[in-house]
Amino acid sequence: MVDEINQLFDIDDLPYAVTPFVRETTVEEWQGEVTGQSTRTIAHPRVVLREQQITYAEAIEPTINLLTQTGFGTANMEFLAALTDYRKGEYEDCLTKCGSAFESTMKLICTKRGWPYRETDTAAPLLKTIIEKSGLPSYYEQPLLMVAILRNKESSSHGGGPEPRKVDPHVTQYAINATAAAILLLVEQVG
């Protein structure tokens, strides 16, 4: 049904898309034999804004599809929440969730690869570990950290002080696109 709804959006060239269900299947075993299987829904479809068709097709949609894979449940929920916040105009919260999705993805990569990290590690130490352990060229570090820098400087994740923060929509759109591209790069190159 999700595909059919997206086709209707495409027919009228509407700037929206519906994300797929995210389901996780668990195989139950007893003494080495499969005794059953259960599937649970981790995330339900959401309507997301699809402003730039090429960026959506090349970065956002592949990231949404990638994050539906087993193990990416937390990153998936955070990235979808960021897209929802963007659609609602809650730009500061969107930046926070972009940073969270990026960090969750890096923690999953480290876990899958058996690379040590602390649960309290933020983006910079996580990325440093990934670059060192994977052999990814060090010049990737600064561009990839932009997601975390925007979260730290512009989002609602840290106190704004005497002046409330106001993030422009184009900055948030950049953050979403940068987050999607960073997640794709790291998972496809390293993960």
pLDDT for position 11? 85
Residue 132: inside a domain, yes or no?
yes
- pLDDT band of 43, cuts 50, 70, 90: confident
Q: Can you give the pLDDT at residue 20?
A: 82
- 145 band by pLDDT with thresholds 50, 70 and 90: very high
What is the arithmetic mean of pLDDT over 163-172?
84
Is 128 part of any domain? Answer: yes
> Could you list the residue range(s) of the whole structural domain that residue 169 is in?
52-189
Judge whether 77 lies within some domain.
yes
Q: What is the pLDDT of residues 58-115, one digit of tens each?
A: 788 889 888 888 789 899 999 999 999 998 999 999 999 999 999 999 999 999 999 9
Query: Taking the CB of residue 80, how many other CB atoms lie within 10 A of it?
Result: 22
What is the token pair recorded at 160? 């704004």
Rounded to two decimals, the pTM is 0.75
Q: Which pLDDT belongs to residue 9?
A: 85
Q: 184 CB contacts (<8 Å, ≥6 apart)?
A: 59, 62, 63, 66
Does some domain include residue 22? Answer: no
What CATH number is associated with residue 70?
Answer: 1.20.120
Total domains, the chain: 1
